[in-house]
Amino acid sequence: MKKVIFYLIEDDKALTDSRLLPHEKLACEKITACWQQGQRVLVACQDQQQAERIDEYLWQQQTDDFVPHNLVGEGMKGGSPVEIAWIGKKGNNNRHTLVNLQEPFPEFATMYNDVIDFVPNEGRLKNLARERYITYKNIGFNLKTITIKADT
Protein backbone atom coordinates (compact mmCIF):
# COMPACT_ATOMS: atom_id res chain seq x y z
CA MET A 1 0.00 0.00 0.00
CA LYS A 2 1.36 3.40 -0.98
CA LYS A 3 1.56 5.81 1.92
CA VAL A 4 2.20 9.48 2.60
CA ILE A 5 3.24 10.98 5.91
CA PHE A 6 2.45 14.68 6.18
CA TYR A 7 4.35 16.64 8.82
CA LEU A 8 2.15 19.49 10.01
CA ILE A 9 4.38 22.25 11.36
CA GLU A 10 2.43 24.11 14.04
CA ASP A 11 5.37 25.97 15.54
CA ASP A 12 8.26 27.18 13.41
CA LYS A 13 10.40 27.88 16.51
CA ALA A 14 11.07 24.16 16.87
CA LEU A 15 12.88 24.20 13.52
CA THR A 16 14.74 27.51 13.45
CA ASP A 17 17.86 27.65 11.33
CA SER A 18 19.20 30.69 9.51
CA ARG A 19 20.12 28.62 6.44
CA LEU A 20 16.77 26.91 5.81
CA LEU A 21 13.03 27.45 6.04
CA PRO A 22 11.44 25.39 8.86
CA HIS A 23 9.96 22.74 6.54
CA GLU A 24 13.31 22.47 4.71
CA LYS A 25 15.11 21.81 8.01
CA LEU A 26 12.55 19.16 8.94
CA ALA A 27 12.99 17.63 5.47
CA CYS A 28 16.74 17.36 6.10
CA GLU A 29 16.06 15.57 9.39
CA LYS A 30 13.75 13.11 7.59
CA ILE A 31 16.27 12.62 4.76
CA THR A 32 18.94 11.76 7.34
CA ALA A 33 16.60 9.33 9.12
CA CYS A 34 15.67 7.60 5.84
CA TRP A 35 19.34 7.23 4.88
CA GLN A 36 20.17 5.82 8.32
CA GLN A 37 17.41 3.22 7.75
CA GLY A 38 19.07 2.21 4.47
CA GLN A 39 16.55 3.83 2.14
CA ARG A 40 17.35 5.43 -1.21
CA VAL A 41 15.67 8.83 -1.37
CA LEU A 42 14.66 11.34 -4.01
CA VAL A 43 14.26 14.87 -2.66
CA ALA A 44 11.93 16.82 -4.96
CA CYS A 45 12.55 20.55 -4.48
CA GLN A 46 10.53 23.46 -5.82
CA ASP A 47 13.49 25.08 -7.60
CA GLN A 48 17.24 24.93 -8.01
CA GLN A 49 17.86 27.47 -5.23
CA GLN A 50 16.00 25.32 -2.72
CA ALA A 51 17.85 22.21 -3.96
CA GLU A 52 21.19 23.98 -3.46
CA ARG A 53 20.20 25.06 0.09
CA ILE A 54 19.31 21.46 0.98
CA ASP A 55 22.53 20.21 -0.65
CA GLU A 56 24.69 22.70 1.24
CA TYR A 57 22.97 21.99 4.56
CA LEU A 58 23.47 18.22 4.17
CA TRP A 59 27.18 18.74 3.41
CA GLN A 60 27.58 20.69 6.66
CA GLN A 61 26.16 17.96 8.94
CA GLN A 62 28.20 16.32 11.67
CA THR A 63 30.03 13.12 10.73
CA ASP A 64 27.43 10.94 12.50
CA ASP A 65 24.66 12.51 10.40
CA PHE A 66 26.51 12.49 7.07
CA VAL A 67 24.21 11.67 4.14
CA PRO A 68 25.78 10.63 0.81
CA HIS A 69 23.91 12.77 -1.70
CA ASN A 70 24.17 14.72 -4.91
CA LEU A 71 22.23 17.20 -7.00
CA VAL A 72 20.53 15.66 -10.03
CA GLY A 73 22.98 15.23 -12.89
CA GLU A 74 26.02 15.15 -10.61
CA GLY A 75 27.81 12.20 -9.09
CA MET A 76 28.03 8.62 -10.23
CA LYS A 77 25.73 6.92 -12.72
CA GLY A 78 22.58 5.90 -10.89
CA GLY A 79 23.21 8.63 -8.36
CA SER A 80 24.01 8.63 -4.68
CA PRO A 81 21.65 7.06 -2.16
CA VAL A 82 20.05 10.51 -1.83
CA GLU A 83 19.44 12.59 -4.93
CA ILE A 84 18.15 16.15 -4.91
CA ALA A 85 16.09 17.29 -7.92
CA TRP A 86 13.77 20.18 -8.71
CA ILE A 87 10.95 21.06 -11.08
CA GLY A 88 12.32 20.78 -14.61
CA LYS A 89 15.20 18.49 -13.53
CA LYS A 90 13.97 14.94 -13.16
CA GLY A 91 15.79 12.62 -10.78
CA ASN A 92 16.40 8.89 -10.96
CA ASN A 93 13.35 6.85 -10.05
CA ASN A 94 15.34 3.98 -8.55
CA ARG A 95 14.48 5.19 -5.05
CA HIS A 96 12.30 3.88 -2.27
CA THR A 97 11.20 7.14 -0.68
CA LEU A 98 10.15 10.53 -2.07
CA VAL A 99 10.68 13.57 0.14
CA ASN A 100 8.48 16.22 -1.46
CA LEU A 101 9.18 19.94 -1.13
CA GLN A 102 7.42 20.90 -4.37
CA GLU A 103 4.39 23.15 -4.08
CA PRO A 104 2.22 21.47 -6.75
CA PHE A 105 1.43 17.77 -6.52
CA PRO A 106 4.40 15.90 -8.03
CA GLU A 107 2.86 13.72 -10.77
CA PHE A 108 5.68 11.17 -10.42
CA ALA A 109 4.78 10.54 -6.74
CA THR A 110 2.70 7.56 -7.81
CA MET A 111 5.95 5.69 -8.59
CA TYR A 112 6.87 5.68 -4.87
CA ASN A 113 5.53 3.51 -2.08
CA ASP A 114 6.59 5.97 0.62
CA VAL A 115 6.23 9.73 0.40
CA ILE A 116 7.12 12.33 3.01
CA ASP A 117 5.43 15.71 2.59
CA PHE A 118 5.10 18.85 4.69
CA VAL A 119 2.45 21.33 5.79
CA PRO A 120 4.35 24.57 6.54
CA ASN A 121 2.91 27.14 8.94
CA GLU A 122 2.73 29.86 6.26
CA GLY A 123 -0.79 30.31 4.83
CA ARG A 124 -0.15 29.98 1.09
CA LEU A 125 2.09 26.93 1.52
CA LYS A 126 -0.44 25.39 3.94
CA ASN A 127 -3.19 25.74 1.32
CA LEU A 128 -1.01 24.11 -1.35
CA ALA A 129 -0.30 21.24 1.06
CA ARG A 130 -4.05 20.75 1.53
CA GLU A 131 -4.44 20.48 -2.24
CA ARG A 132 -1.65 17.87 -2.39
CA TYR A 133 -3.27 15.97 0.49
CA ILE A 134 -6.58 15.78 -1.41
CA THR A 135 -4.80 14.60 -4.56
CA TYR A 136 -2.88 11.87 -2.69
CA LYS A 137 -6.16 10.77 -1.09
CA ASN A 138 -8.02 10.70 -4.41
CA ILE A 139 -5.26 8.59 -5.97
CA GLY A 140 -5.54 6.05 -3.15
CA PHE A 141 -2.51 6.74 -0.96
CA ASN A 142 -2.82 5.82 2.73
CA LEU A 143 -2.42 9.14 4.59
CA LYS A 144 -1.01 9.93 8.01
CA THR A 145 -0.42 13.33 9.61
CA ILE A 146 2.11 13.99 12.36
CA THR A 147 2.04 17.35 14.14
CA ILE A 148 5.35 19.06 14.92
CA LYS A 149 5.22 21.39 17.92
CA ALA A 150 7.95 23.39 19.69
CA ASP A 151 8.34 20.71 22.35
CA THR A 152 8.82 17.81 19.88
Average pLDDT, the chain: 90
Residue 22 CA to residue 59 CA, distance in Å, equals 18
Range of the domain at 29: 3-148
Length of the chain: 152
Closest CA to 74 of 60, 58, 55, 88: 55
Its pTM stands at: 0.92
Q: Is the pLDDT of residue 152 over 50?
A: no
Please state the domain count of the chain: 1
- How do the residues of the chain divide into helix, strand and coil, expressed in percent and rounded to 5? 35, 25, 40
Q: Report the CATH number at residue 26.
A: 3.40.50.10110
pLDDT per position as a tens digit, 18-71: 788 889 999 999 999 999 999 999 999 999 999 999 999 999 988 888 899 999
Contact 98, 115 (CB under 8 A): yes
73/108: higher pLDDT: 108
Can you give the pLDDT at residue 15?
62
Q: Is the pLDDT of residue 80 over 60?
A: yes
